[in-house]
Amino acid sequence: MTHPHAAERATTSKALLAVLDGHRPSRRPIWMMRQAGRYLPEYRELRAQAGSFLNLCYNPELATEVTLQPLKRFDLDAAILFADILLVPQALGASLTFAEGEGPVLSTVTSDRDVAALSLDGVVERLSPIYETVRRVAAAKPSHATLIGFCGAPWTVASYMIEGRGSSRQNARLAAIAGEPWFARLIDILVEASVGYLVAQLKAGAEAVQIFDSWAGDLPAHEFRRWSLEPIRKIIEGIRAEIPGARVIGFPRAAGTNVADFAASAGANAVGVDSSMSVEAIRRDVIPYCAVQGNLDPLQLLAGGERLDRAVDELVTGLNPARHIVNLGHGILPQTPIDNVIRFIERVRQHDGA
């Protein structure tokens, strides 16, 4: 059987899909991590209306609207599903709240018993409001835009589950480095849940998925391979066993010299890189293996002005358009002026066809 994207592959006019498929795009694809968020007044308004961030995530009507908000304002090539990486632990049975001004708070997992209390049974079904959002966005988005689904990588999600919050990763790092059996089991559970969750998003209409490993940079090289790269490689393999040719972006943030290993062996169509990576390092460590996504510093975008233009010029002229998805090195910051976003996108567009 041919896979669902087969017909589109050779002929896609969607810039982002072209790059993921290894083709030269009609223009440079651009999107921004956290593009739906607090820097937009219309987001803050819907967020207030929903009452809480989690209510917004689980309300397909409002989540669809939020997903599409940045595309109404800006000339972007992708919509990223509005949800959160911590919905998966919640569906596994962890308690989750978002304390105002403090970020996520979860029940902690630090033993065999805590891991045994998590339930893979029905985990994919419990996340069904998210697939409803995907279906609605797929139907409503502009045709040139690609819909990206996502999940958190096992290491990053496990670190939130172990610590109960995002402030430190000491205990999670210790469990990984000590090779605790309950930690290995937790990672396996997250691999399995993530495969089911991403397959369901792809079946609902996501055209690519991104796996966020925000804390990949916390692991020494050997542990990185075991707890960041290997679980992500397994997720990608598991997705493609069900959906051959599924397109995946891996984001091993702050992984430094481990990025080359990741690009060569995870099996992703593109690798997201953080802002510390130079254009030369990207050309050396990523481009031989797959496309790259990134990596303007979110603070450069916040600062704006001519230095923003120079940074965009350097990034864009340094990378082959057939291999580059323009993005930030991490999520857009809530204080970012909207005019700077417009300036950023216009500056990239000036290079199209040049």
Catalytic residue status for 284: no
Residue 166 binds to ligand CP3 (criterion: CB under 6 A): yes
Choose the stretch contacting ligand CP3; rule: CB under 6 A; options: 80-88, 131-139, 223-231, 345-353.
80-88
Number of chain positions touching ligand CP3 (CB under 6 A): 22
Residues 6 or more apart whose CB falls under 8 angstroms from that of 88 comprise 123, 127, 151, 152, 157, 190, 193, 194, 197
Rounded CA separation 232/194 (Å): 9
Choose the stretch contacting ligand CP3; rule: CB under 6 A; options: 33-41, 116-124, 288-296, 310-318.
33-41
Structure-block tokens of residue 210: 């991104």
Residue 14 binds to ligand CP3 (criterion: CB under 6 A): no
Residue 217 binds to ligand CP3 (criterion: CB under 6 A): no
Q: Are strands 103-106 and 96-99 parallel, antiparallel or unpaired?
A: antiparallel
Residue 16 binds to ligand CP3 (criterion: CB under 6 A): no
Residue 104 binds to ligand CP3 (criterion: CB under 6 A): yes
End-to-end CA distance of the chain, in Å? 41
Rounded CA separation 308/305 (Å): 5
Residue 80 binds to ligand CP3 (criterion: CB under 6 A): yes
Annotated catalytic residue within 9, 27, 34, 73? 34
Residue 34 binds to ligand CP3 (criterion: CB under 6 A): yes
For ligand CP3, the closer of residues 17 and 85 by Cβ is 85
Q: Give the residue, chosen from 22, 51, 103, 244, that forms a contact with ligand CP3 under the rule CB under 6 A.
A: 103
Annotated catalytic residue within 47, 247, 323, 343? 47
In order of 91, 94, 165, 172, the CA distances from 118 in angstroms are 9, 7, 18, 17
Residues 6 or more apart whose CB falls under 8 angstroms from that of 85 comprise 150, 151, 152, 156, 157, 160, 212
Catalytic residue status for 173: no
Catalytic residue status for 283: no
Please list every residue from 272 through 331 that binds ligand CP3, using CB under 6 A: 331
Residues 6 or more apart whose CB falls under 8 angstroms from that of 92 comprise 118, 119, 120, 123, 189, 193
Q: How far is the CB of 37 from ligand CP3 (least distance, A)?
A: 4
Catalytic residue status for 38: yes
Catalytic residue status for 58: no
Rounded CA separation 69/55 (Å): 17
Structure-block tokens of residue 16: 């982002």
Closest CA to 88 of 198, 204, 213: 198
Structure-block tokens of residue 86: 């911590």
Residue 45 binds to ligand CP3 (criterion: CB under 6 A): no
Residue 4 binds to ligand CP3 (criterion: CB under 6 A): no
For ligand CP3, the closer of residues 163 and 287 by Cβ is 163
The binding site for ligand CP3 (CB under 6 A) comprises 33-38, 47, 53, 80, 82-86, 103-104, 150, 152, 166, 212, 214, 331
Catalytic residues: 34, 38, 47, 84, 160
